[in-house]
């Protein structure tokens, strides 16, 4: 019975995807705010005492209730994590303050991309003369190493951004994820998000599990970034105390920056995996929609472009200019049932003499 209750609760909380990491960001926020309030962080003129925020050794019931409250708070905050992650990616509503700053943030990233592209080919070092001193040779090799580092940095910066200005996002994480979608789809002329939802049932379990683990990693690190950001805001009054408690703020900010950097790295690592999935399963979309499979890359590109236009529109298929005349290819009919075998010939009765 207990096993059934646990299984039912797990399904409610997220099924197979539920884990303690999924509620950890919310639990961190609830714990940090509870401790700060209990330790008198928001009471000016009163010294902070961590002991006031923690129960005594004899108060096991209180400790259990606090633990249950922290877990419950993490679960209740979990539905808001997706919206916070999208906010972290740069999907900002137009009517908010960040929405008004979106254009400025996008322009900043556009200039960063353009500067990296311009500087990528300028890091050159002149060849040395035939007769050089050892010091000159050392300077030459240091200059070559520095040029390679700067060239690699510019290349990595360019790899984070889309070449299309319309797809630029106001945050670094958003630009990386958008660029992964664009570079994956441009290989075959298809929209990644629309196509993946339709080929998902046919994706190999190995690919599906690897993609799910990668997306969970991006989600957890992004949620931790938001959680430590909230903790940083909650701990900002500690700056006025100018004691050891003040270090809580820079520690939370450092954890926020580290989690954001981890989310960026996980998003970059997701590119090769997405490319592998579409390289293997890209024909499953045409098969599922009952279209003839292309025989050349040019035909594949043209068909994927027509399918993408239809998937991104709301026009009925019979009225869509790109696909209304595309012939269907349905699976072959089932073979006719096997003929009933003819009865064996009857032997004549034996002769009676």
37-66 residue pLDDT tens: 777 777 777 777 666 666 655 555 555 666
Higher pLDDT, 24 or 203: 203
Give me the residue label for tokens 């050892």: 134
Which of the residue ranges 22-31, 56-65, 279-288 would you say has the lowest mean pLDDT?
56-65
User: What's the mean pLDDT when you consider all of the chain?
Assistant: 78
> Which residue from 216, 245, 220 is spatially nearest to 47, judged by alpha carbons?
245
CB neighbourhood size of 18 (10 A): 16
Residue 107, both tokens: 């322009």
Share of the chain above pLDDT 90, in %: 6
Distances (CA, A) of 200 to 67, 186, 195, 277, 304: 38, 19, 9, 10, 17
Backbone angles phi, psi at 123, to 5 degrees: -85, 85
**Looking at residues 272-282, what average pLDDT do you find?**
89
Nearest in space to 81 (alpha carbons), one of 26, 32, 28: 26
Angle at 248 between CA 242 and CA 253, to 5 degrees: 120
Can you give the pLDDT at residue 37? 77
pLDDT of residue 25: 76
**pLDDT tier at 98 (50, 70, 90 boundaries)?**
confident
């Amino acid at each position: 019975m207990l096993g059934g209750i646990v299984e039912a609760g797990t399904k409610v909380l997220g099924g197979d995807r539920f884990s303690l990491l999924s509620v950890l960001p919310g639990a961190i926020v609830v714990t940090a705010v509870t401790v700060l309030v209990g330790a008198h962080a928001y009471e000016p003129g009163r010294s902070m005492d961590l002991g006031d925020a923690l129960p005594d050794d004899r108060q096991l019931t209180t400790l259990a209730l606090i633990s249950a409250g922290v877990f419950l708070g993490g679960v209740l905050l979990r539905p808001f994590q997706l919206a916070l992650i999208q906010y972290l990616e740069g999907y900002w509503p137009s009517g908010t303050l960040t929405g008004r700053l979106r254009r400025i943030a996008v322009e900043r990233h556009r200039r960063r991309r353009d500067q990296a592209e311009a500087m990528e080919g300028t890091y050159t070092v002149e060849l040395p003369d035939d007769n050089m001193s050892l010091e000159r040779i050392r300077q030459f090799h240091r200059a070559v190493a520095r040029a390679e580092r700067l060239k690699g940095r510019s290349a990595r910066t360019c790899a984070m951004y889309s070449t299309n200005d319309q797809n630029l996002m106001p945050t670094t994480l958003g630009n990386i994820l958008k660029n992964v979608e664009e570079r994956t789809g441009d290989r075959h002329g298809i929209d990644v998000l629309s196509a993946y939802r339709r080929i998902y049932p046919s994706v190999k379990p190995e690919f599906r599990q690897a993609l799910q683990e990668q997306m969970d990693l991006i989600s957890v690190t992004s949620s931790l970034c938001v959680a430590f950001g909230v903790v940083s805001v909650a701990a900002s009054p500690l700056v006025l105390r100018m004691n050891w408690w003040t270090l809580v703020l820079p520690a939370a900010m450092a954890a926020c920056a580290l989690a954001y950097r981890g989310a960026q790295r996980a998003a970059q690592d997701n590119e090769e995996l997405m490319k592998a999935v579409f390289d293997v399963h890209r024909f499953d979309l045409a098969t599922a929609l009952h279209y003839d499979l292309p025989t050349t890359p040019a035909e594949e590109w043209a068909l994927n472009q027509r399918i993408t236009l239809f998937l991104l529109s709301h026009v009925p298929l019979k009225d869509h200019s790109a696909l209304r005349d595309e012939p269907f290819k349905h699976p072959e009919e089932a073979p006719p049932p096997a003929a009933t075998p003819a009865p064996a010939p009857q032997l004549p009765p034996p002769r009676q003499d």
